[in-house]
Structure 1
Amino acid sequence: MSPTAKKTVRGSAKTADTTFTAEEKAAMKARAQEMKAEACAGKDRAAGERELLAKIGEMPAPERAMARRLHDLITASAPMLMPKTWYGMPAYARDGKVVCFFQSARKFNTRYATFGFSDQAMLDDGDLWPTAFALKALSAADEAKIVALVKKAVGG
């Protein structure tokens, strides 16, 4: 099949040159494994935290330090959130649904890491509000903002 030939994917046309990157494929594979494990055995807090900390441990030093600090801030400010992995990255969920997450820059070959919130976060502020933040480093002021956002996200 030529590079411009079209393939049918669930009834829609998709060109061969719009395939997923290796990083995206790896993230989807990680998410499929996470969902399978959750469906088979469910996860307790300790298991989710072990997996999350293992993923943090695989990150390069600067991101590992940021992810670990975020973990400490989130678990202290919103202890009702359950640590887990989501697409192979650290995330925090309530009632099985991700509220906030960290994405490594290295994982997706981007120039900065990202800390974000899903639509489960109660951050609504009019018709427009931020749901993701670029992270290059964490200052004390940044940490205070993140704690305030996490508390607001969980309704606190």
Structure 2
Amino acid sequence: MASKDEKNLAQVVEKIAKMDEPRRSIMQRVHEIIVAAAPELKPRIWYGMPAYAASASTPALVTLRNDDRMNLAITEKAGFRPAGGIDGALMPAAWFFETVDADTEQRIAQIVRSVLD
């Protein structure tokens, strides 16, 4: 019998597989980046979206959306810090993307690792 983590991972992979190309390939790549950057996060479905949490039974910390635009977001359950600089007390929480190049891959990995700090 598969574990809850294995079932949740299968649901995330299936959700991504149902997306239309070229978004399916892009979201699959983002999923791979997240899993590699923070293997301690557990994939799961959160409000119908691929998401990543500390455990199979805790709230999601990071979500992926495939709406009008593809989006990587940190949920309110993650620890936030003010951005500082020109953004002052604003707290970055969502990033839209259309493609994933090497720089974007690195930034996604940084963002995902930040929820573990």
Q: Structure 1 length as normaliser, TM-score?
A: 0.65
Distance 2:80 2:102 in 1: 21
Distance 1:45 1:89 in 2: 16
Q: Does 1:46 align with 2:3?
A: no
Report the alpha carbon displacement of residue 92 of structure 1 after superposing the two structures with TM: 0.4
Distance 1:74 1:143 in 2: 9
- The answer to whether the 8 A contact 1:56-1:68 is kept is yes
Report the alpha carbon displacement of residue 121 of structure 1 after superposing the two structures with TM: 2.3
Q: In the alignment, which residue of structure 2 is the partner of 1:153?
A: 115
Q: CA distance change for structure 1 residues 148 and 123 in 2, over 3 Å: closer, same or farther? A: farther
Q: In the alignment, which residue of structure 2 is the partner of 1:67?
A: 27
Q: In the alignment, which residue of structure 2 is the partner of 1:58?
A: 18
Distance 2:42 2:23 in 1: 21
Distance 1:137 1:93 in 2: 24
Equivalent of residue 122 in structure 1, options 79, 82, 85: 79
Q: Which runs of 4+ in 1 moved over 6 A?
A: none
Q: Does 1:87 align with 2:47?
A: yes
Structure 2 unaligned runs (5+)?
A: none
Structure 1 unaligned runs (5+)?
A: 1-42
Q: Structure 2 length as normaliser, TM-score?
A: 0.85
